[in-house]
Amino acid sequence: MRKIGELTERAEAVRFCDYLLTIDISAMAETSHSDPQAWAIWIRDEDRLDEARTQFAAFREQPGDAKYNVQKQADEIRKQQEAKNKDRLKQQRKVGGAAWAGSGNFMTRKPRLTIGLVITCVVLFFITDPGAQRSGDDAGAQLFRALRFVGVQDYVESEGDPLASIKKGEIWRVFTPNLLHGSLMHLGFNMMALFFLGGAIERLQSPGAFALLVFLTGVTAIVLQSVFPESLGGSPNVIGISGAVYGLFGYLWIRPILQPTFPNLIPPSTVMLMMVFLFMFILLPQGSMGGVSVANVAHVAGLVTGIACAAVASRMPS
């Protein structure tokens, strides 16, 4: 908040704040710290600070102007704001408040699609486990090659074109690398985050909304990671659903900021943890974690896509 000036009469201060409320500028009046007989005007909307100062100067010149007689209108606006806040709290209570995705009444609606996706990833891991010793014609190895972004033979024959298999019509490859994982630790972290974040969205909105978000964020993450130059961290060998996980996180993090009536399910500590991991992996040299490369492009792409989806959804009629 920023102070824009002082008035000598409480009635005038309240009257001016009422007027500001009617032009969508949030303000408050309180006793001045420097002069107990005066009333300080504080502006909450710092992006409207210059406009508020202009309005304050105009008010001081003509405080008796009839346009400032807006008490009834201001009271009505405050009632509407209070009703919206009550609706928001009611909605949050329905999903367990501002707690994590697995608490309270939130668990009464089972996220079946999320659970199904988790099971699919787990089953595929044990079928295709790239860390296991397999022969080249093993069914698991063949399935792994069929689901990754580009087939080895296509990549070699195209002299390094990451889109070679897609151009042949194998369009499923833009998403299926999300379902593959390289180790139990890789799988475990991703499945835990997918269950909590995806389950939250599926319960809050619908299985369709969850599926659309996973698809958009997952495809964007995989495609950009695959086509980015290797010098910038790109690689067509990307596997794992962490890009989509960051997309789901970005959606749940940003949408309550843009749309206050949407339940806030992401605690600040979780936001901090996710962002620390994001930047830590970016700053660490590739291969420094036991020789494993991290899909940083996918993480950033998924996060940005999730935030963009939140921005679009927050503007859609409820």
Q: What is the mean pLDDT of residues 273-300?
A: 83
CATH of domain 98-315: 1.20.1540.10
With CA atoms as reference, report the closest residue to 293 among 192, 221, 225: 225
Phi, psi of 12 (to 5 degrees): -65, -40
pLDDT one-digit tens code per residue, 230-247 = 888 889 999 999 999 999
Reported as a pLDDT band with limits 50, 70 and 90, residue 89 is low
Given a cut of 50, whether residue 104 has pLDDT beyond it is no
- C-beta contacts of 116-123 below 8 A and 24+ residues apart: 117/194, 117/198, 117/214, 118/191, 118/194, 118/195, 120/179, 121/179, 121/181, 121/187, 121/190, 121/191, 121/194, 121/241, 122/187, 122/191
% of the chain with per-residue pLDDT over 70: 89
CA within 13 Å, CB half, 247? 27
Q: Please list the alpha-helical segments (H only) found in 70-161.
A: 71-94, 112-128, 139-147, 152-157
Reported as a pLDDT band with limits 50, 70 and 90, residue 58 is very high
Instruction: Fill in the DSSP letter of residue 158.
Output: T
The per-residue pLDDT for 291 is 59
For the record, the structure tokens of 56 come out as: 């304050």
pLDDT one-digit tens code per residue, 253-265 = 999 999 887 888 8
pLDDT one-digit tens code per residue, 140-170 = 889 999 999 999 999 999 999 999 999 999 9
Residue type at 174 in one-letter notation: V
Residues of the chain with CATH 1.20.1540.10: 98-315
* Cα dihedral 29/34/37/43 (nearest 10): -10
Q: Report whether 301 contacts 278 (CB < 8 A).
A: no
Task: Round to whole Å and give the CA distance between 308 and 258.
Answer: 11
With CA atoms as reference, report the closest residue to 175 among 215, 128, 144, 122: 215
The per-residue pLDDT for 96 is 38
Sign of the dihedral through C-alpha 239, 293, 192, 185: positive
The per-residue pLDDT for 88 is 65
- Average model confidence (pLDDT) for the chain? 87
With CA atoms as reference, report the closest residue to 274 among 255, 247, 238: 247
For the record, the structure tokens of 152 come out as: 């080895």
Reported as a pLDDT band with limits 50, 70 and 90, residue 132 is low
Q: Does the domain made of 2-69 have the CATH classification 3.30.70.2350? A: yes
